[in-house]
A and B are shown apart, each in its own frame.
Chain A
Amino acid sequence: MSLVRDIMTIAAVSAGALFFLAGTVGLLRFPDTLTRLHALTKADNLGLGLVVLGLLLQAGNLRDGLKLIGIWLLALLAGATVSQLIARTARQGEAAK
């Protein structure tokens, strides 16, 4: 049973790391601010979600698991809102040019 758990953790964390890689590649290759912001927010947050999923399987008790999920939801909320704010600033900057 714990072997299955370990395999699933490894799989989830690897998938999460892959999405971090995808986000970074997008950050490096996309041409302008808005697309880069998109790559950063979407891919990195998904990567974080998968990492949290993998770590949930290793968490000892309910309290630790709830803490992990809470932090992930917080990061999600923050990421969604801040990316909108940055995008608005980028749009206004372009309009002013």
Chain B
Amino acid sequence: MTDFLTAAVGFILAMLALGLVSILRGPGETDRMMAAQLIGTAGIAALLLLGTVGLVPGAVDVALTFALLATFASIAFVKKGRSSLQADESGSTEDK
């Protein structure tokens, strides 16, 4: 079981890596915004796998932190991306 779950973590990490390659190569800035979302979901899966089987007991708490902070980072990406700043009509009251 431990071996299988470790293999699952490795597989999900490989998927994460491939996804990152695709996102970071992506032509526009909007593609980059997906990076935090990708790492959030795959990272939480990997951490929960590491945590529940008892390999690292505190990993579930790290997964909780990931969930909250990856969301926060994603929203910051959207708010502060160049394409979002250009597309905004409300000029001076928008964020920096």
Contacts and interface: CB of A to CB of B under 8 A. Distances in A.
Q: Do chains A and B touch in the complex (CB under 8 A)?
A: yes
Interface residues of A, number: 47
Contacts, number: 142
B52 A75 contact: no
Q: Name the interface size band of chain B.
A: 35 or more
A71 B45 contact: no
A20 B81 CA distance: 27
A60 to B, nearest CB: 9
Interface of B: 1, 4-5, 8, 11-12, 15, 18-19, 22-23, 26, 28, 30-31, 33-34, 36-38, 40-42, 44-45, 48-49, 52-53, 60, 63-64, 67-68, 70-71, 74-75, 78, 81, 83-84, 86-87
Given A71-B63, A75-B40, A78-B71, 12 more contacts: A9-B1, A10-B1, A20-B45, A48-B41, A55-B49, A64-B52, A70-B64, A71-B60, A75-B41, A75-B67, A79-B41, A93-B30
Interface of A: 6, 9-10, 13-14, 16-17, 20-21, 23-24, 27-28, 33, 36-37, 40-41, 44-45, 47-48, 51-52, 55, 58-59, 64, 67-68, 70-71, 74-75, 78-79, 81-83, 85-86, 89-90, 92-93, 95-96
The 9 closest A-B pairs by CB, nearest first: A92-B87, A78-B71, A93-B83, A44-B41, A82-B74, A55-B52, A24-B15, A74-B67, A90-B30
